[in-house]
Amino acid sequence: MLELYPGVLANLLMLVGLLLLASSDIGKSKASKLVIACLFAFVNVKYLQWRLDETLPAYELSFQSMWMWFFFVTEALAAIALNWHFFIMVAPTNRSPEADQWEKILKSSDNLDAVDVMIPTVNEPLAMLEKTIQGALNLDYPKVNVWVLDDGNREFLKDYCNGIGVNYIAREENIHYKAGNLNNALTLTQAPIICVVDADFVLEPNFLWRTVGLLNDAGIGLVQTPQVFSNPDAIQHNLGGSHAWPESQCAFSDVIQSGRDRWDNAFCYGTSFVVKRECLDAIGGFAKDSVTEDLLTSYVLHGAGYKTRFLNEPLSKGNATQDIAEYIRQRGRWCIGTIQCLFADRGLLRSRSLSLVDRLFLLDPIVYHFGTIWTLLLLVSPMMYWWFGIAPFHSDFGHLLIVLAPRMLLVTFGFYWLSQKKTIPIVSEVGRVVGVFHLTSSIIKALLNPYKQTFRSTIKHTEGADNIIYWQILLPLLGLALLTVLGVIARYLNLLDNDILWRTDFGLMVTLTIYVLWLLYLSCLVCVQRKITSSDDAVYVGSVRKTAKTLIKRMFA
């Protein structure tokens, strides 16, 4: 293995070379990105080979052996998913020129298709809904019908819609969540194009001119635009990073979706999209077998022979979830819904019409959510070491310098660069760590019984009280940190056998312990909910320097 990692100096020189290349014009070409993505993937693969060949014991039915092998399997899945995303991000699409052409054609046409704009809602306040409804009424398109689909069956909302001349639909039975709400509206409307916008998003006036034309291709069933948020999410807000790094979905919306679009596999995510009614009719409406009806509907459309398109233009703006409890609850619902796509009748395992490429791209978000298990094992591993003397793998401090650290630096830089500075080191990890216990519970529940779960819509506050501590989220994180620290203290005070102080993996585990405690500390800070104000704004490109400065300030403030 040493011939692959000749030393710290060589790895540092390689990293410096990549930094220089990435900052040059040469590094911006697709060919250069592909070459460097291959390099990152090679480093990842060789790392996994080293882990498999040199750091694992022979498998046996002992706790230590099973712990090490389970740790490796989950780590390998996370590394494979990382490699997959490296290649997806190499060549994102740009469909704006195509949208320009279609907009000119539409504006010169006397026979435009009518559009039903549907606004599904259940618990959003009127102040939020008013902006969404007004945005739909302000669309600069001649044939628009606006429909408010109220699963809350609220009399005040019905009166409001009647007062401004907007169509209002309520259901007697709120089954199948959002998919059921939309499907009910399909039976009561008739325009050939459906536009769906969530109750906390506002469409730009030219939204339909930019998107409807792309549906003229007979093979295209749905056109999705990015989710753009006008305010910071809970991680940004509670760590004070709204001007230092983008919100957590920014890299996915701006880069990964465009990369998936290169392979005809961008998927719908529930708002700010247009879809042909005839395509929905062909598949029986929006898919009801998952609470992430948007993801599953995309692949049911694929199975029926229709493609999705992604137009990467900021044609709407919405509200990110700033309350950390709601943020984690929302991610938990996404997690369960994505796993439901694994078992659904027309999902990954049971569909007979999906292509191999479609299956691989549908597997991607599923594997991403399973990566939460790897995060939990990483967080628990220092505690396991100090209390029970069981390391996650056999290694030493020297390999930390010539294998682990260079690999971590390279892949972290790779994702930061290929995501166009929208994925910031440490911050992206905190976003997963803070909800790791809740999300792991969601995974287990979904695997044991995917269809016996209850949900409610995410509440997106516009204002909130100052300094609410969410103890139910904080205590498990704080407890794990305290257990880890107490384990270290117990070893040094000889309360436990201190033979691990002389083991070759001691330096490695000290380093890992410091890293994990830092992540846990930052995650605990996120659990202190800061006052939510409607005047906050956010950035869409990150800065490592500003992020480091912000985190240091927040840690000691």
Answer yes or no: is 170 within a domain: yes
Pairing mode, strands 115-121 and 144-150: parallel
Distance CA 289, CA 336 (A): 12
Answer yes or no: is 189 within a domain: yes
H or E, element range at 263? none
Task: Classify burial at 521, counting beta carbons within 10 Å of its beta carbon; exposed 0-12, middle 13-18, buried 19 or more.
Answer: middle
Q: Which domain holds residue 277?
A: 96-327
Query: Own/partner pairs for 97-102, CB < 8 Å, 24+ apart?
Result: 98/214, 99/210, 99/211, 99/213, 99/214, 99/311, 99/313, 101/213, 102/212, 102/213, 102/214, 102/216
3-state class (DSSP) for residue 21: helix
Answer yes or no: is 333 within a domain: no
H or E, element range at 41? helix 30-54
Enzyme catalytic residues: 151, 294
Distance CA 215, CA 222 (A): 7
Distance CA 407, CA 95 (A): 35
**Would you say 295 and 208 are in contact if contact means Cβ atoms under 8 Å apart?**
no
Residue 121: name the closest of 460, 531, 536, 497 by CA. 460
Sign of the CA dihedral 424, 23, 243, 422?
negative
Task: Classify burial at 108, counting beta carbons within 10 Å of its beta carbon; exposed 0-12, middle 13-18, buried 19 or more.
Answer: exposed
CB atoms within 10 A of CB 449: 9
Answer yes or no: is 349 within a domain: no
- State in Å, rounded, how far the first CA of the chain is from the last one: 44
Contacts of 225 (CB under 8 A, 6+ apart): 207, 210, 211, 272, 273, 310, 311, 312, 313, 314, 315, 316
Residue 56 is encoded by which pair of tokens?
Answer: 């694992």
Distance CA 26, CA 20 (A): 10
Residue 511: name the closest of 426, 371, 423, 404 by CA. 404
Question: For every one of its 557 residues, what pLDDT tens digit does the chain have, with 9 covering 90 and above?
Answer: 444 445 555 556 666 666 666 666 665 678 878 888 888 888 888 889 888 988 898 888 889 999 999 999 999 999 999 999 999 999 999 999 999 999 999 999 989 999 999 999 998 999 999 999 999 999 999 999 999 999 989 999 999 999 999 999 999 888 898 999 999 999 999 999 999 999 999 999 999 999 999 999 999 999 999 999 988 899 999 998 888 888 888 889 889 999 999 999 999 999 999 999 999 999 999 999 999 999 999 999 999 999 999 999 999 999 888 899 999 999 999 999 999 999 999 999 999 999 999 999 999 999 999 999 999 999 999 999 999 999 998 887 666 666 777 778 777 877 888 888 888 888 889 989 999 999 999 999 999 988 876 666 666 655 555 689 999 999 999 999 999 999 999 988 888 877 777 788 888 899 899 999 999 999 999 999 988 776 556 777 888 888 888 888 888 76
Residue 117: name the closest of 224, 213, 189, 221 by CA. 189
pTM: 0.90
Which residue has 């692949």 as its token pair? Answer: 299
Exposure pattern of 137-159 as b/e (b: 16+ CB <10 Å)?
eebebeebbbbbbbbeebeebee
H or E, element range at 354? none
Answer yes or no: is 251 within a domain: yes
3-state helix, strand, coil in the chain (%, to 5): 55, 10, 35
Phi (first) and psi of residue 87, to 5 degrees: -75, -35
Distance CA 136, CA 33 (A): 40
Contacts of 295 (CB under 8 A, 6+ apart): 267, 268, 269, 337, 338, 341, 362, 365
DSSP state of 242: T
Helix axes 356-388, 63-88, angle to 10 degrees: 140
Contacts of 398 (CB under 8 A, 6+ apart): none
H or E, element range at 35? helix 30-54
Helix axes 544-556, 506-526, angle to 10 degrees: 80
The total of structural domains in the chain comes to 1
Distance CA 508, CA 132 (A): 53
> Which amino acid is it at 502?
W
**What CATH number does residue 182 fall under?**
3.90.550.10
Answer yes or no: is 39 within a domain: no
Answer yes or no: is 464 within a domain: no
Answer yes or no: is 447 within a domain: no
Helix axes 471-492, 324-343, angle to 10 degrees: 90
